[in-house]
Amino acid sequence: MRRLRVIGIGPGGIDQITIAAVEAMNTVDVFLLLDKPNGPRDLRARMLERYVDRPYTVVAIPDPPRDRTPSDYTDTVARWHHRRAELIAEAIAAQPADAVLGILVWGDPAIYDSTLRIIGLVEQLGTLLEVDVIAGLMSINTLTAAHRQVLNSVGGAVHVTTGRNLRDSGIPPGVDAVVVMLDAHCAFLGFPDWTLFWGANLGTADEVIRSGPVAGIGDEVVRLRSELRERVGWVMDTYLLRAPDPAEPVAPSPVPGFARPEGER
Domain ranges of the chain: 2-134, 139-242
- Say how far apart CA 162 and CA 15 lie, in whole Å: 27
- Say how far apart CA 239 and CA 246 lie, in whole Å: 18
- Say how far apart CA 179 and CA 192 lie, in whole Å: 16
Residue 170, pLDDT score: 94
**Is there a contact between 106 and 76 (Cβ–Cβ < 8 Å)?**
no
pLDDT digit string, tens, across residues 216-249: 999 999 999 999 999 988 899 999 999 986 445 5
pLDDT per residue as tens, the chain (265 positions): 899 999 999 988 899 999 999 999 999 999 999 876 555 557 888 999 999 999 999 999 988 887 767 778 788 889 989 999 999 999 999 999 999 999 999 999 999 899 999 999 999 999 999 999 999 999 999 999 999 999 988 888 899 999 999 999 999 988 999 999 989 899 999 999 999 999 999 988 899 999 999 999 999 999 999 999 999 888 999 999 999 864 455 667 666 665 544 444 3
pTM of the model: 0.84
**Is there a contact between 40 and 107 (Cβ–Cβ < 8 Å)?**
no
In this structure, whether the domain defined by 2-134 belongs to CATH 3.90.45.10 is answered with no
- Say how far apart CA 157 and CA 179 lie, in whole Å: 11
CATH level 2 (architecture), domain 139-242 = 2-Layer Sandwich (3.30)
- Strand 30-35 to strand 175-181: parallel, antiparallel, or no bridges (unpaired)? unpaired
Shortest CA distance to 5 belongs to which of 24, 33, 29? 24
Residue 221 parent element (H or E): helix 214-232
